[in-house]
Homo-oligomer: A and B are copies of this chain.
Amino acid sequence: MQLIDGKATAATIKSEIKQQVEQMVAAGRRRPHLAAILVGHDGGSETYVKNKVLACEACGFESTLLRFEDDITEAELLSHVQSLNENPAVDGFIVQLPLPKHIDEQRVIEAIDYRKDVDGFHPINVGRMAIGLPCFISATPKGILELLRRYNVPTSGRKCVILGRSNIVGKPMAQLMMQKQYGDATVTVCHSRSATLVDECRKADILIAAIGQPAFVKAEMVKPGAVVIDVGTTRVSDASRKSGYRLQGDVDFEQVAPLCSLITPVPGGVGPMTICMLMQNTLAAATRAYY
């Protein structure tokens, strides 16, 4: 069994990006510029945005953080989105989710110019990904593809089972894994209603768990030699930690790891790749790689 080290892979990729950026700057071009809109003071969102700003620094990007209180109106927020759409000095931007309940998230997402939509959530990017056209691919599925590629996991023709059908992980992951140009795998998506979930998992060469249920995947659900990717990050209480909690994946790591050829730990697996892929998307926006 080998661990897939997302943290180290993410560090490598960031240094690759940084190198490319310094070459751009040396050639007289400006640095890629990512902007982020953060509404309110949600603890999780604060942390994510802070880490995104730090990642920008690590990559040599310029970054701008626009903060608003959570009583901002939808119309005001949309006008800031519009300003970023029109600002030629901003290559790409994100609106950190979730937004306060009085704001229609989907309307905000669709207001973002798809050519600056580095989160890949705009329907144009979602649709182009589905039909295999160049586009911004959202960070978590893109990060998983990148881990599989960098660890030389064969995917073509292999059975890949995805647990969970969320719009940000399960569904796009399935679309990517089934396409010739990406995974080229035989893809099965299982979810809470799947009658044959355990059977499907046991046949998987590659098992991607994104179901949001701590330690859901047990040893008897994993084929010996499988590659297991754990997207889950649930906080479970842990009296032995100073914080009082630890992050638990969707995989029962103790049981499952010995069976695997490769497995991602939680934390330190998929998580660190996510922000790193946002940086790749921002670089792609700055170099007009897709649009």
Contact = CB atoms under 8 A, between A and B. Distances in A.
A241 interface: no
B187 A189 contact: yes
Contacts of A127: 122-128, 130
B159 A195 contact: yes
A194 B157 contact: yes
**Copies, count:** 2
B174 A178 contact: yes
A213 interface: no
A242 interface: no
Contact of A124 (B123, B171, B172, B197): B123
A130 B130 contact: yes
Chain A contact patch, size range: 35 or more
A196 interface: yes
B196 A191 contact: no
A188 B186 contact: yes
A193 interface: yes
Given A123-B128, A191-B186, A171 B165 contact: no
A203 interface: yes
A167 B132 contact: yes
Contact of A195 (B123, B133, B157, B197): B157
Interface in A114-142: 122-128, 130-133
A106 interface: yes
A194 B183 CA distance: 11
A45 interface: no
Interface string A162-202: 00010100011011001110001011111101111100100
A158 interface: yes
10 contacts: A123-B124, A131-B167, A157-B195, A165-B178, A171-B175, A178-B191, A184-B193, A186-B195, A186-B196, A186-B197
